[in-house]
Structure 1
Amino acid sequence: MSNSAAAAVLTTADLSEAIRAVRTLLAVADIGQGEVDFEAVIRSPEVLTRVRHVLPDLEWWASAGKEHGSSEDGDDPADSLPIRVSDWGRPLDRATPFIAALGPDPAAVRWDPDAWPAVPEAGLEEISQKYAYLTLTVNSRDLYQNEPSQDHTVHVHARDRNGDQITRVHWLAEQVGGRFTGRVESAPL
């Protein structure tokens, strides 16, 4: 297993601004074979119903531990709230309905594009899919929903190859009118 470095490049209370930033970055990336992954903490029956409508087969487990309920055991998630959910490798068009379903609950939506492109004018080579991720944390400042907040953060992932990590992060931040905040989280891949 390897890790990427997820750098925060935009934090905003305006979810539509964060989504616009994600769309701008996806327009930069090669997304031909792209996928999207989801993680969230669901606290209410209403949010659970909306999320299950978007992702009916998601995996879940009780926040208090799997022994208090899980999809693996065939339990009813509504009886185990709050729950943690995850779903992987979905088509890109699932992201927007999932985000809309969340309400105030915290989540991380990670897009897995094929590559960050080469940017010759910035001295950047193409970065392959293994290190080309983009994550939007909704109602949370961190990738793991441990820091709930009322704002949303866009994180870009890029591998530190030939010292281009910081240059690429700054370049991507500039594309969305953001700035690298200096905050980086390790993201297992």
Structure 2
Amino acid sequence: MSNSAASAVLTTGDLSEAIRAVRTLLDLADLGQAEVDFEAVVRTPGVLAQVRHVLPDLQWWALAGKEHGSAEAGDDPADCLPIRVFDWCRPLDRAEPFIAALGPDPAAVRWDLGAWPAVPEAGLEEISQKYAYLTLSVNSRDLYQDEPSQDHTVHVHVRDGDGDQIARVHWLAARVDGRFTGRVELAPL
């Protein structure tokens, strides 16, 4: 198993600004085999209903632990709130409806990209699918919803431990009028 380095490049209280940044970065990436993954903490029946409308076959378990309820056990998630949601390998068109469904609840939406592009003027080669990811943390500053917040953070992922990739992080940040904040989280792949 390897890790990617998820670098925060934009934090904003304006969700529409964060979504615009994500769209800009997606326009740069190879989306040929891209898919999107979701993680969230859902706390209220209203948000749960909206999220289930977007992802009807939702995978989840009670925040208190699977023994307190899970999709796997056939439990009703409304009886087990708050719940942790994990849903992977969805089509890209599910991302924005999922984000809109969240209300104030924290989540991470991760786009698994085909590649980050080559940037010859910066001396960067194309970076493969294995290390090409983009995450939007909604109502949270981190990838795992451990730091709930009223703002949203865009993270770009590159190969962990590859010093040359810091140039890529700066280049990607500049595309969205952001800046590399120095905050990096390891993300298991």
User: What TM-score do you get using the length of structure 1 for normalisation?
Assistant: 0.98
Alpha-carbon deviations, 1:75-127, whole Å to 9, x = none?
A: 00000000000110000000010000000000000001100010000100000
Match of 1:157 in 2: 157
Shift, 1:58, TM fit: 1.3
What is the RMSD computed on CA atoms of the aligned residues? 0.9
Shift, 1:161, TM fit: 7.2
Distance 1:127 1:76, change over 3 A: same
Which residue identity lines up with residue 31 of structure 1 in the other structure?
Answer: L
Alignment of 1:52-91 (within 5 A): 52-91=52-91
Gaps of 5+ in 2: none
Structure 1 runs of 4+ aligned residues shifted over 6 Å read none
How far apart, in 1, do the equivalents of 2:71 and 2:87 lie? 12
Shift, 1:55, TM fit: 0.3
Match of 2:140 in 1: 140
Alignment of 1:103-182 (within 5 A): 103-160=103-160, 163-182=163-182
CA contact (8 A) 2:156 2:169 kept: yes
Match of 2:14 in 1: 14
How far apart, in 2, do the equivalents of 1:122 and 1:98 lie? 35
Match of 2:26 in 1: 26
Alpha-carbon deviations, 1:37-65, whole Å to 9, x = none?
A: 00000000000000000001111000001
User: What TM-score do you get using the length of structure 2 for normalisation?
Assistant: 0.98
Which residue identity lines up with residue 150 of structure 1 in the other structure?
Answer: Q
CA contact (8 A) 2:59 2:71 kept: yes
Q: Percent identity?
A: 84
Distance 1:80 1:161, change over 3 A: closer
Shift, 1:33, TM fit: 1.2
How far apart, in 2, do the equivalents of 1:176 and 1:21 lie? 5
Q: Which moved more, 1:163-172 or 1:7-16?
A: 163-172
